Structures are given as C-alpha cells and as structure tokens.
C-alpha cells in the first residue's frame, strides 16, 4: 500500500548542512563530513533548519531507506559535535607486542614472536593515539573509526592455532562510548 511519508530531521545549533542532489555536507565544531546517499525515488531537501526526506507514494522499501538515511544523518550530526572514539587493548601473554604508526599505516611488531611485522592501513580522517597498551581511534565519521578498529583486530587474528591457548591480539574494548 502506497502512502505519503516524510521524515523531518532537525539540524542542531552550531551545525550547518548543505544538500546538492544526493550529497549531504555537514560541518560543525569538530570538522566536516560529506556523504553521498542512494536516494532512488525519495525527495531529499533542506528547508529552514530541517532536512526533509520522503515520498508522496512511499512503499515499505522507501520507508526502510528513509529510516536508514535518518540514522546516518544523526550519526553525522553526533560526529561533527563530538568525535567518535573506539578503544582497543593490546593483549599478550609472553611476547610483548609493539605498535608504531608510520605514514598512514600501523606496524605491529613481535606479535606471537613473529619476525615479520604485521601491517594495517589507517584511513584518511582518522586519528590514532597510543597510550601504553591502549589504542584510541578517533574520527568524525563513525564508519571510518569502526573500520580502522576492525582492521587492527583483523591484523592480529590468529589462524591455525588454538584460540583458547593463544589469546594474544588487539581487541576492541570500547565502541563509540559503549563498553564491550
């Protein structure tokens, strides 16, 4: 059944938003984010201090898309007000793990006594802080921060060994303000 559905998202104070076709650019105190949305049949506009998403003849598919885009926009608002922060803990039992940041790349040395260092990419727009055995990943974009944190976990994944015995690695302990 098709019906008229529109969602209005209020823009918080101190944040400016610009819409050109299907690209939304939001800037605030911490920085700016630009994101392209796949809006298909939806109308995407800005009026006064609100972003309006909707369709005159919306189906379930359009409603789902509207809700997804709304969540992304709210995350963008949170990010430009206060950066998203992921915390990772370096865990080892015998061989101490060393992490260094060089030229947009993290080098993980001496993981389980390996001679060849493991490497992972750090995406643009992400800040990394090393504090003893805690790695802090900060970014205005929640997706970028989460991806870099996941890259650290994936780089130290142990294969062909018993996970109950070999518990070394880098693990996410705090996800954007939520403990795990």
The β-bridge partners of 98 are 109
Q: Sheet of 23-27: strands edge to edge?
A: 16-20, 23-27, 32-36
Last residue of a domain, one of 66, 81, 96: 81
Q: How is 99-158 classified by DSSP, letter by letter?
A: EEEETTEEEEESGGG-SSPEEEE--TTEEEEEETTEEEEEESSHHHHHHHHHHHHHHT--
How distant, in Å, are the alpha carbons of 27, 34, 112, 142 from that of 89?
31, 30, 16, 19
What is the pTM (predicted TM-score) of this model?
0.89
Is residue 173 classed as helix, strand or coil in its secondary structure? strand
Instruction: Note the pLDDT of residue 178.
Output: 85
Instruction: Note the pLDDT of residue 97.
Output: 94
Q: Give yes or no: residues 22 and 95 share one domain.
A: no
Torsion, Cα 38 5 32 12, to 10 degrees, reads -170
Q: Give yes or no: residues 21 and 68 share one domain.
A: yes
Instruction: Note the pLDDT of residue 63.
Output: 92
Q: What is the pLDDT of residues 41-69, one digit of tens each?
A: 899 999 989 999 999 999 999 999 999 99
Instruction: Note the pLDDT of residue 21.
Output: 85
Q: Give the chain's mean pLDDT.
A: 93
Last residue of a domain, one of 56, 81, 106: 81
Report how far residue 95's alpha carbon sits from residue 110's, in angstroms, rounded to the nearest whole number: 7
Residue 24: count other Cβ atoms within 10 Å of its Cβ. Answer: 22
Q: Give yes or no: residues 116 and 44 share one domain.
A: no
Report how far residue 139's alpha carbon sits from residue 121's, in angstroms, rounded to the nearest whole number: 15
Domain membership of residue 117 as a residue range: 84-179
Q: Give yes or no: residues 72 and 153 share one domain.
A: no
Helix boundaries (H) for 15-107: 60-81
């Amino acid at each position: 059944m098709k019906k008229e559905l529109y969602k209005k998202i209020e823009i918080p104070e101190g944040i400016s938003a610009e819409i050109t076709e299907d690209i939304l650019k939001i800037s605030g105190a911490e920085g700016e984010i630009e994101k392209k949305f796949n809006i298909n049949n939806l109308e995407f506009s800005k009026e006064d201090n609100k972003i309006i998403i909707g369709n005159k003849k919306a189906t379930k598919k359009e409603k789902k898309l509207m809700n997804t885009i709304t969540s992304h926009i709210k995350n963008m608002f949170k990010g430009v007000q206060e950066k998203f922060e992921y915390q990772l803990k370096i865990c080892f039992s015998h061989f101490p793990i060393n992490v260094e940041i060089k030229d947009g790349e993290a080098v993980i040395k001496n993981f389980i006594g390996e001679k060849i260092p493991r490497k992972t990419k750090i995406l643009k727009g992400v800040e990394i802080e090393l504090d003893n055995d805690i790695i802090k990943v900060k970014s205005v974009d929640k997706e970028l921060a989460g991806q870099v944190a996941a890259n650290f976990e994936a780089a130290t994944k142990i294969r062909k060994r018993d996970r109950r015995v070999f518990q070394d690695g880098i693990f996410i302990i705090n996800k954007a303000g939520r403990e795990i």
